[in-house]
């Protein structure tokens, strides 16, 4: 699993709902691939037993990692950092937009922006912001 960490990887730290987010992203993105999943098993590891120590997944070859913090120790996510995702088809764009926007916040779009036929900026229900684009 840590082979993935040798590349540049986005690391998300959640406050106890990391596993829910992990499965949400695997179910939401059509090409998402589970790479690894480990849990806290001992108190001395610093996290709540049964919560995610490390979960790794890929979307279009980009690596993402998740960890859970205890006692709401992780700060809130900010839309100042986003992940830009280029959909291969308009139906893929529409499906992703619908899933990410459900229980989330639509910050922009979908709308045409210059040469891009559709662009949207969505913060999902976990607080992660995604920019979706379709040419």
Mean of the pLDDT values across residues 74-102? 95
- Spatial CA neighbour of 132 closest among 59, 63, 61: 59
pLDDT for 39 equals 92
90-101 and 18-28 helices, crossing angle to 10° = 160
Exposure string over 25-58, b if 16+ CB within 10 A, otherwise e: beebbeebeeeebebbeeeeeebeeebbbbbbbb
- Name the DSSP letter for residue 30: T
Q: How much of the chain, in percent, has pLDDT values that exceed 70?
A: 94
Rounded to whole angstroms, the Cα distance separating 64 from 57 reads 5
pLDDT for 2 equals 53
Residues in the chain: 135
pLDDT for 6 equals 57
> Within the chain, which residue ranges are assigned CATH 3.30.720.100?
10-68
How would residue 12 be classed by pLDDT, with cut points 50, 70 and 90?
very high
CATH class of 10-68: alpha beta
Residue bearing the bigger pLDDT, 3 or 78:
78
Mean of the pLDDT values across residues 4-32? 89
Per CATH, the number for 82-134 is 3.10.180.10
Residue bearing the bigger pLDDT, 73 or 97:
97
| pLDDT above 80: residue 45 | no
* Residue 67: count of CB within 10 angstroms of its CB: 18
Mean of the pLDDT values across residues 43-65? 89
> Within the chain, which residue ranges are assigned CATH 3.10.180.10?
82-134
- Spatial CA neighbour of 86 closest among 22, 26, 54, 132: 132
pLDDT for 35 equals 96
């Amino acid at each position: 699993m840590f082979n993935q960490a040798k590349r540049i990887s986005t690391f998300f730290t959640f406050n106890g709902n990391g596993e829910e987010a992990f499965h949400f992203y695997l179910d939401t993105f059509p090409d998402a691939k589970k790479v690894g999943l480990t849990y806290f098993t001992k108190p001395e590891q610093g996290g709540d037993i049964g919560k995610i120590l490390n979960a790794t997944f890929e979307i279009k070859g980009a690596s993402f990692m998740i960890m859970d913090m205890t006692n709401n120790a992780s700060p809130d996510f900010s839309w100042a950092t986003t992940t830009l995702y280029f959909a291969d088809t308009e139906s893929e764009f529409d499906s992703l937009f619908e899933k990410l926007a459900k229980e989330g916040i639509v910050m922009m779009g979908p709308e045409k922006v210059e040469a891009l036929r559709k662009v949207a900026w969505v913060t999902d229900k976990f607080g992660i912001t995604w920019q979706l684009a379709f040419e």
